[in-house]
Every structure is written in structure tokens, then in C-alpha cells.
């Protein structure tokens, strides 16, 4: 079974206040879960880390596909020379935030990694 590590920046204040994580599919995780499930990734195969809060070595040594969510994360992973794929963060602003647009974006960016 293929494993996927989605890397964000840091937990939002709202997620802390609500005491939810990515696994709960709440807040922007709802968009992400719908988008990745639409391309055949099982949500239970997904792991989540935050590049500015978690140990970078856990991201570096992850055995699977690493996916940067957002440009800041992408820059940090490049700086650390960690191979990764890129998608917009599901809380991004603009028309890509519309669920159908976000699903299309995720499909365009990472559908090729699903085997």
C-alpha cells in the first residue's frame, strides 16, 4: 500500500480552538479529503505533518510520497532538499478554493502518483 505525507505550515488557531486535526476532515481538510479521494487516494493512507512545527527529519525519512501544501512549504522542502510533489493548500484564496476547482487542481498536480 502506497503512503502519502501531506505537509502544511502549522496548525491554524481555529483548528486548535476546535481541537481538530486533518484526520477529522474538518475545516480545509474537508476539501483536501474530497480531492484526494476523488483521484483514488484512501484517506487512511494519508499522514500529515507541519514543516514549521514537526521534526523535519520525520518528513525527510518518510517512506512514501511527500506532498507540499502551499508555496511556503514547497520552499522549505526545497531548501531541505526533500523530494516532493506540490499542491495548493486547501485553504488557499481565490477561485481554486471552490471545491470542484480544487479537485481539478489536485488531479492535475498529483494524479500521476496514484498507482
- pTM metric for this prediction: 0.91
Q: Cell numbers 512549504 correspond to what residue?
A: 73
For residues 92 and 89, what is the distance between their CA atoms, to the nearest angstrom? 5
CATH class of residue range 4-113: alpha beta
Q: Where are the domains of the chain?
A: 4-113
Nearest to 9 by CA among 75, 65, 84: 75
Q: What is the pLDDT of residues 6-16, one digit of tens each?
A: 999 998 888 88
Residue 24 or residue 68, greater confidence: 68
Give the pairing type, strands 46-50 and 4-8. parallel
Asked if pLDDT for residue 108 goes beyond 80, the answer is yes
Q: What is the pLDDT of residues 67-87, one digit of tens each?
A: 999 999 999 999 999 999 999
At 96, the pLDDT band (50, 70, 90 cuts) reads confident
Least confident of 13-17, 35-39, 106-110: 13-17
Give the 3-state secondary structure percentages of the chain, helix then strand then coil, rounded to 5: 45, 15, 35
- 49's enclosing H/E stretch is strand 46-50
* Angle value at C-alpha 10, between 6 and 15, nearest 5 degrees: 95
- pLDDT of res. 16: 82
Long-range contacts of 72-76 (CB under 8 A, 24+ apart): 72/9, 73/7, 73/8, 73/9, 76/51, 76/52
Amino acid at each position: 500500500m502506497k503512503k502519502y505525507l501531506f505537509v502544511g505550515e502549522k496548525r491554524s488557531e481555529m483548528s486548535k480552538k476546535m481541537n481538530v486535526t486533518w484526520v477529522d476532515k474538518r475545516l480545509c481538510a474537508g476539501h483536501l479529503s474530497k480531492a484526494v479521494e476523488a483521484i483514488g487516494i484512501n484517506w487512511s493512507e494519508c499522514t500529515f505533518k507541519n514543516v514549521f512545527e514537526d521534526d523535519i527529519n520525520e518528513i525527510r525519512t518518510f517512506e512514501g510520497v511527500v506532498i507540499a501544501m502551499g508555496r511556503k512549504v514547497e520552499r522549505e522542502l526545497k531548501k531541505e532538499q526533500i523530494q516532493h510533489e506540490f499542491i495548493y493548500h486547501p485553504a488557499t484564496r481565490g477561485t481554486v478554493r471552490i471545491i470542484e476547482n480544487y479537485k481539478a487542481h489536485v488531479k492535475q498536480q498529483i494524479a500521476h502518483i496514484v498507482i
